[in-house]
Structure 1
Amino acid sequence: MNISASMVKELRERTGSGMMECKKALVEASGDLEAAIEIMRKAGLAKADKKSSRTAAEGCLCVKSSADGKRAAMVEVNCETDFVAKNDDFIAYANDVAAGVLDSSVASVDELLGTVLPSAGISFDERRKELIAKLGENINVRRFERFASDSGITASYLHGTRIGVLVELSGGDAALGKDIAMHVAASRPVCVDEAGVPAESVAKEREIFSAQAEASGKPANIIEKMVEGRIKKFLGEVTLVGQPFVKDPDQTVGALLKGKGASVLRFIRFEVGEGIEKEESNFAEEVMAQVRAS
């Protein structure tokens, strides 16, 4: 049968796919629009499966918060290139994922992916696979964090779309919460205070500092003071409350919080792609390989 331009146009608007792909599906479906959409969906799922093994270390972070400041969620959604990370459809999906985490009680990425995305009427995973087919890259929902505070507040900060922080405070206000979140983004503390520093980390640092101090040949009592001084400095560097506040280095974050009658209960910091082993590639060689193959 004859496939008109208007039929192709309508299918493109509904699927976001290319003209030739839409025309091929319409021909296969004998002009039935709904059948063509189903054909394209099945083809898209097959494409997604083929791309699932490809490394996705780019992407974006999204944060959603409740109006009362009691709840906040942050998600990392990955793709293969920075180009796709800036795509409107990709960003919209990441925002949908963040909203889905905030407004649900899902405990894992797999559980989230199996739930229905209200705006699309299909699961988050099906929508993800549709995007893979449309954008041509592997796309993963990698991780999320959700904070809920009964008596305090939550705060967040996004540095662009690549670094994100959630903070839960007892006391204080939204402005203080944002300042603390910005500080965490910039200074990367390991934990809130000394109680959160692993004992083995302290022991390891003490061992290193002791060996260095003993090499100086100083008396034992002096060495002990040197080591304790180094340990104190180490704890100040890795704990949030011990670090100099980025907006006012003359006071520590701990002093800032004390002055506001507040305390940080917990925080989490995400950075896009951290911990993902990226594949090394030579762009010039890839281009030459394509030229030789053509």
Structure 2
Amino acid sequence: MKIPAKFVQELRNKTGAGMMDCKKALQSSDGNMELAIEALRKKGLALAGKKANRIAAEGIIESYIHAGSRIGVLVEINCETDFVARRSEFQNLAKDLAMQIVACPSVQYVSVDNIDHGIIEFETRIESEKEDLLNKPVDIQEKIVSGRIEKRLKEMSLMNQPFIKNTDISIEELIKQHIALLGENIKVRRFEKFLLGEGLEKKEDNFLADVENIINK
């Protein structure tokens, strides 16, 4: 089937895939744009997995300050080349990730793999001692605790969060899509949240104590 060049270019603009890949995808889908996009996406995601071990040392540090200036985030996202780091798609991804972190108060780590073993042990101990497990058989207790811990760890992991702009995909899937689109490995290296006043002991006036001090002078 002969595919018009404008269709090939349109598919390339939508997916970032190579011209020949776009042409083949359109030919195999009889010119159906949506099916061609789906085919390229599947192929792209497969390629994204192969790129996941490539060194990503370039990138940007993005910031996001929420309305009211009471919470902010710095996030470092890496890619392989400065060329990709300057592309709008990569920079928009970094902005979305910074906003995502602010929107998820329970997120403390990039992925489950980054969670300290001591934290996992602590969470496991808390779950194991909950009253609703006391009268259940040991094997049932272990299964329930395991399921709860898995859920809890995912709540703490950025990669496992539903993307706030499209809850049908996770942050991990969002990054894989951009790996396929941009052709480079992409990693979220680290992030830091800043909460106004966090860690400070706010001074509160104790009226009764002040009065007592004055009387006893």
Scaled by the length of structure 1, the TM-score of the pair is 0.48
User: 2: CA distance between counterparts of 1:87 and 1:97?
Assistant: 16
Higher relative contact order (CA 8 A, sep 6+): 2
- The 2-side partners of 1:63 and 1:170 are apart by 26
Partners of 2:16 and 2:164 in 1: CA distance: 19
Aligned to 2:36: 36
Q: Judging changes above 3 Å, is the alpha-carbon distance between structure 1 residues 148 and 4 closer, same or farther for their aligned structure 2 residues?
A: same
The corresponding residue for 1:114 is 160
Distance in 1 of aligned mates of 2:160 and 2:36: 25
Contact 2:110 2:189 survives alignment (8 Å): yes
| CA distance 1:84–1:100, change in 2 (3 Å) | same
Q: Shift in Å at residue 4 of structure 1?
A: 2.1
What secondary structure, in the 3-state scheme, does the structure 1 residue paired with 2:108 have? coil
1:123 to 162, 170, 193: 170
Distance in 2, matches of 1:117 and 1:16, equals 21
Deviation string, structure 1 residues 3-42 (Cα, Å, up to 9, x no partner): 2223223322322323222111111222222111111111
Between the aligned partners of 1:169 and 1:90, the Cα distance in structure 2 is 36
CA distance in 2 between counterparts of 1:48 and 1:7 reads 25
**Displacement after TM superposition at 1:170 (Å):** 8.3
Change (3 A) 1:69 1:10: same
SS in structure 2 of the partner of residue 77 of structure 1: strand
Question: Secondary structure of the equivalent of 1:125?
Answer: helix
Distance in 2 of aligned mates of 1:114 and 1:26? 33
Residue aligned with 1:146, SS:
strand
Matches within 5 A, 1:60-209: 60-105=60-105, 106-110=107-111, 111-119=157-165, 122-149=169-196, 152=197
- Deviation per residue, 1:67-105 (Å, 9 max, x gap): 212101111101112222112111111111001101112
* Correspondence 1:17-28 to 2 at 5 A: 17-28=17-28
SS in 2 for 1:14: helix
Rounded Cα–Cα distance in structure 1 between residues aligned with 2:170 and 2:32: 24
- Higher share of residues assigned strand: 1
- The residue identity in structure 2 corresponding to 1:34 is E
How many residues align structurally? Answer: 155
1:123: how far off? 2.5
Unaligned runs of 5+ in 2: 112-156, 203-217
Q: Distance in 2 between matches of 1:37 and 1:123?
A: 19
Spell out, residue by residue over 1:137-176, the C-alpha distance to the aligned partner (whole angstroms, 9 max, x if none): 1110111111223xx38xxxxxxxxxxxxxx8889xxxxx
Structure 2: which amino acid aligns with 1:126? E
**How high is the sequence identity, in percent, across the aligned residues?**
46
1:170 to 1:94, Cα distance in 2 relative to 1, 3 A: farther
Within 2, Cα distance between the matches of 1:99 and 1:115? 12
* Aligned Cα root-mean-square deviation (Å): 2.2
**Counterpart residue number, 1:274:** none
Distance 1:132 1:75 in 2: 18
* Paired AA for residue 56 in structure 2: A
CA distance in 2, matches of 1:71, 1:41: 36
124-133 or 134-143, which moves further after superposition? 124-133
In the alignment, what sits opposite 2:206?
Answer: none
Partner secondary structure for residue 189 of structure 2: strand
SS state of the match for residue 63, structure 2? strand
Superposed structure 1 runs of 4+ greater than 4 Å apart: 168-171
TM-score by length of 2: 0.64
Letter of the 2:173 partner, please give it.
Answer: E
